[in-house]
Chains A and B, each alone.
Chain A
Amino acid sequence: MSERIERRLWLAASPEDVWDVVTGADWLADEVNLDLRPGGDASFRSSSEDKAGWVEEARPPSDSPDGSGRLAFWWASDDEPATRVELTLEPARGWDGPEGTRLRIVESRPLDVLDLIGTPLPRSGGVTYGPALVAA
């Protein structure tokens, strides 16, 4: 088992609109740079801390036949172990029609998975993710 934060909420907006905000320039941090493709670089600047990472998966709702979206990325600041963040967006009916989104967010540090894989994960922006970091 590893530490894990999970949040779910229903939003009165389409998955496309929610996607625009959550991948936007100022939601995940004060200043966000996200290269929305697998392996893309990511950087997050805030008043309290800066983080760097990479994108594992970025599937906007507009590209998906069922209208769902998924963003998975890894991030870490210099003195922290990397954690994985996964945002899932699903279209959900509102009272008057399908104009809602179920958003699920999971932030976790999948220690068990990394230990099991036993090989370094992709390296990006000077931050190494993988067992070396986990074992430190």
Chain B
Amino acid sequence: MKEFTYTITDPEGIHARPAGELVKVAKEFSCKITLTKDGKSGDCKKIFGIMGLAVKSGNEIVINFDGEDEDAAYDKISAFMKENL
């Protein structure tokens, strides 16, 4: 299992479009990918789960990877977060 912590810098937070992109990237992997904010979690492969967290600019989130391809998923998603959010 791997995880990384990230503070959202995009002024709009994880709104619909980046949530969609995040889901798209997450679905490339088989491992379980969970996003947690303030104790509430959502499955990164489900758009309603992510949007339901209403992650805003400045929020600290933790993304957790668990499964076979967790290393590859970690690399790709951490790069995605830094670049887009």
> Are A and B genuine complex partners?
no
